[in-house]
Structure 1
């Protein structure tokens, strides 16, 4: 039997002492004092930061929002039904952040970027803070590139540029989401990544948007962030920031992104609910005093970065719902003052059968023609002028029955131009198609066509350009300019098509 010598034992002990490494793990732990309505009051988390993530004992994640002398107020990112008074809470030392990356494209996620489409986990490339500072003035560049929506009324008269913030505002059921979805559809093959944020929507509405995007192969470049009506107020409050964070990943890589917040009225309501439960004092119209900051720190993150920063852009299209068209209410005025213009949708115009129901009179883009191609600038100026004259004459003609021939001609053309602006849902038009349609309207090609046949004229013209006059389409897509050569090609197209359309209609008659 082998015997162990005392010096061997002492050598082993000395070796263990030499290799001993002091590793302390310090945890900040608190106790739940009170819980209810998704809000928890916690004692003991003295070193916690504002906006820091915390873990409850049952696995629920929370965010510390109110830092008070005796306790902190935290919101729970879930139902938190198993969180009780006396439960242990651990601080994480991390400010609220989510995973980001190109693997999110084509997926539907919740407000914490967790997949909810049943297609498995998403392999993220990195994490980004949910609330990060907006790019400074030096990091930005003037907006100059067009972000085409595919809608004639917008691209010609209320143009949107890459890096702009354009508000879509109107009553419910006036086509706000339809404009946003059409804009996403029109980004196909344009190297623009899209993020659609649904806040407080019905799950069926989100499913409908997903179905439209999927059917048109738009999910390949789109992410949907959903915080539906049955989600906790906390998640509805966070969802827009999640959308902005996912978009920023692409922007800072030098790519172009479009983010749609549908809609910020519901985010404001969710934030109001949270704030009142946290006992924050209400302000104007009973909203929390910092509700302006809620939206400004979100929308200011949209930008066109300069070349040193990679030249990427993030375009924001926030949606706000009005009551009875009241744009002077609290939330609408807040967001109007933050954005670079607004597209106002009118219920009266919608009910009169004009879709999209855009009220050109109070819609504006503060970037303007800087965000238009040269070709669109040339044809849009004439369109705006003729529509403005038509609006004045139409109002005047209501009080007079005896009109001269010139006035009658102007009224007839104005009615036809208004018909040109009508566009079915989910059918965005390319730049060559829009230019051809506007040119036809402002240069007398449709003056002799009856109002009922304007739509069939446009449908036929689209097919004619695609099938027969591909040279014009390719030239305009390449140059984006309506120079002498392109204008002659367009005139030839319209002459040939108008002759063909007239013969077809004469035969049918």
Structure 2
């Protein structure tokens, strides 16, 4: 009994010492209440010190983003399921802005905008946290876009080339292959050091799964990050997805690395913003979009840049995607994005239905920066290709009326059809620089003009193995390779002439 009494006295003495050591001071905690909630938004009162874009904590762990500050009420975008929150529930101010995890641990993962794993993998550990909203690099910290970003698509690399640090819009109707071009560009980076980030905004789960599966089968998924805000997720998470993906890319850009960011697509992102803005009773503007619809995309895409050597020399290349209705490229959101970006790749539904894939309309597509970065070996062969192809398209339309044409015009049309056949390309089959140079050389020298049009596909199929046997040095060309010398041209001409003859025999 004495031992128990002594233990109780000792415990009481320690507790008294701990209590005496405590520092008691008043603390201030901001508490508000939910007035209205539903459809992905909430109206909160009682938090007068809340700042714009501050994270608010609701009961049950739900978080919200303060986007509309009134005199006595705050409009919030909810970042999750609001099933556990009702009118009258308590809300706490956190004083923090929305943040997303960044770092090497994200590579190869499928996550949402706040870093929650969606691939049944382990939770992210050891990641730094970065704000989803960050200012764009100032002009003084940027450098000229000088290095090409090869997509592996001949029609893009030859006539609409991209540069590392550029912003190039992919625009077209639904189901014309916009995502396919972006995915092929990601797959083509399997032989480079470029890190790829795919941001799915408002996409169906099946569509996102197809993209992830394609990259895993054909690309380098260990250097890819998939940031997903599916159509059935909270509007707030869809809204944050492109900004979070951009912050993840900026982490690697700051380390001097090159990043490719695909935003699929910003039309749905704008629709989500319009939805929550109307629910928050913001004044609607053109097509019911709020007045700052241009600013939400411009501040996002301005973060894509090529940093100066003093800042590490990294780059963030943005490929935003926009959807048009019935080919209306002059619609509100597409024209906004065209004015923000450095060019656009326009996909024509007519070409798609004619089985010309990729269905790129060369006349309406442009790259305002990438032409200065194009590989010299490719640039020397593609300088006149765009003009020749445009002339062919005009002549082809003219001859559809049944007009008699002379031999010269007929020869131009036959040559143009072979250009079009060469530009057609199956999905998940990106071409290396050497293969692109060989194809452009063959069509530019007229080596395919005598080959029946239906045999051009066979010529393309035999080309890689033929070059490996006859011109192995051509397959080793890189972005810095100069234009082909006369000796190289003679060697290549002989090899391709023989290949054309072989394609005619075996087709």
TM-score bin, normalised by smaller chain = over 0.9
TM-score by length of 1: 0.93
What's 1:340 paired with? 342
Structure 1 residue 477: Cα displacement: 2.4
Is contact 2:458-2:503 (8 Å) kept? no
What's 1:7 paired with? none
**After TM superposition, what 4+ stretches of structure 1 lie above 6 angstroms from structure 2?**
11-18
Superposed counterparts of 1:392-431, under 5 Å? 392-399=394-401, 401-431=403-433
What's 1:8 paired with? none
Partner Cα distance (1:53, 1:375) in 2:
52
Secondary structure in 2 aligned to 1:58? Answer: helix
What's 1:173 paired with? 175
Partner Cα distance (2:122, 2:91) in 1:
29
Partner Cα distance (2:146, 2:271) in 1:
35
What's 1:349 paired with? 351
Superposed counterparts of 1:487-502, under 5 Å? 487-502=486-501
Structure 1 residue 297: Cα displacement: 0.9
What's 2:89 paired with? 87
Secondary structure in 1 aligned to 2:443? Answer: helix
Partner Cα distance (1:24, 1:164) in 2:
53
Classify 1:489/1:73 alpha carbon distance in 2 versus 1 (closer, same or farther; 3 Å): same
| Alpha-carbon displacement from aligned partner over 1:222-252 (angstroms, at most 9, x marks no partner) | 1111111111211111111111111111111
Structure 1 residue 441: Cα displacement: 0.3
Secondary structure in 2 aligned to 1:220? Answer: helix
| Alpha-carbon displacement from aligned partner over 1:255-310 (angstroms, at most 9, x marks no partner) | 10011111111111111111011111101111111111111111111111111111
Classify 1:355/1:504 alpha carbon distance in 2 versus 1 (closer, same or farther; 3 Å): closer
Structure 1 residue 402: Cα displacement: 3.3
Is contact 2:100-2:113 (8 Å) kept? no
TM-score by length of 2: 0.94
Partner Cα distance (2:60, 2:286) in 1:
38
What's 1:388 paired with? 390
Partner Cα distance (1:467, 1:491) in 2:
16
What's 1:376 paired with? 378
Of residues 75, 78, 86 in structure 2, which corresponds to 1:76? 78
Of residues 256, 270, 273 in structure 1, which corresponds to 2:272? 270
Unaligned runs of 5+ in 1: 5-10
Is contact 2:176-2:352 (8 Å) kept? yes
Which stretch shifts more, 30-39 or 335-344?
Answer: 30-39
Secondary structure in 2 aligned to 1:282? Answer: coil
RMSD across aligned C-alpha pairs, in angstroms?
A: 2.3
Superposed counterparts of 1:477-488, under 5 Å? 477=478, 479-484=480-485, 487-488=486-487
Structure 1 residue 494: Cα displacement: 3.8
Of residues 249, 252, 264 in structure 1, which corresponds to 2:251? 249
Structure 1 residue 22: Cα displacement: 4.4
Of residues 196, 213, 225 in structure 1, which corresponds to 2:198? 196
Secondary structure in 1 aligned to 2:60? Answer: coil
Partner Cα distance (1:445, 1:77) in 2:
59
Structure 1 residue 16: Cα displacement: 7.5
What's 1:317 paired with? 319
Of residues 211, 214, 232 in structure 2, which corresponds to 1:230? 232
What's 1:240 paired with? 242
Partner Cα distance (1:308, 1:170) in 2:
38
Is contact 1:139-1:306 (8 Å) kept? yes
Is contact 1:436-1:490 (8 Å) kept? no
Secondary structure in 2 aligned to 1:458? Answer: helix
Is contact 1:344-1:362 (8 Å) kept? yes
Partner Cα distance (1:69, 1:503) in 2:
78
Aligned length: 499
Unaligned runs of 5+ in 2: 7-12
Secondary structure in 2 aligned to 1:197? Answer: strand
What's 1:60 paired with? 62
